[in-house]
Amino acid sequence: MEIVYLDSDIVVCLKPARVLSTDEPGGLPELLREALGDPKADIRTVHRLDRVVSGLMVLARNAKAASELSRQIRENKFEKEYLAVVHGAPEEAATLRDLLGRDKARKMTYVATEPARGVQEAVLHYQRLSAREELSKVRIQLETGRTHQIRVQFSSRGFPLVGERKYAELNDPCEIALWSYRLCFIHPATGERVEFTHQPPEIYPWTVF
């Protein structure tokens, strides 16, 4: 576990791929307790990354901090940016807006054609940073936080993320190329605006760029 920042109220770390964000055996809170050397440490998940996704996460270290961070997320005052590598070359910058539904039986998200029960609007903004070898590196700002939103919105337009196996039939030799790059929020104890950024690891496909 790589811990980026730690104080008595929050811990910012890099979640590895294939690790659950939630507090269960093998989940991120348990790994953080091991890293801190305190099996009874109060570590609370306030936002999530898909199991296969890596990068920055902040977790609360007490109930008050968890409540305040959760409030910021509900009120869209918690900023999250991602980096991704996609197949193809989407336009240089755009806003993607879809209606997304959730197939609970298959555990998959889909693009809906019209409003319906359980269907929610999904909005993200992206900028293409670079394009090489039929791949594009993009920076993504989420306006909403739907399950699998980034993966579905890009795949549905013919630009699946490298390493995608759920929403595209790809055989890329890597984990999914989606990285939680930036977090910005108000510190739950000090009231100060804090920002954390971290680049993806030097592995394929990030090394293409």
Catalytic residue numbers read 50
Exposed, middle or buried, 86 (CB in 10 Å: 0-12/13-18/19+)?
Answer: buried
Answer yes or no: are the C-beta atoms of 18 and 28 closer than 8 Å. no
Look at residues 85, 88, 95, 108 and name the one whose alpha carbon lies nearest to residue 181: 85
The strand ranges marked E within 90-201 are: 93-103, 108-112, 120-132, 135-142, 178-186, 193-197
159/10 Cα distance (integer angstroms): 36
Tokens of 131: 């394009």
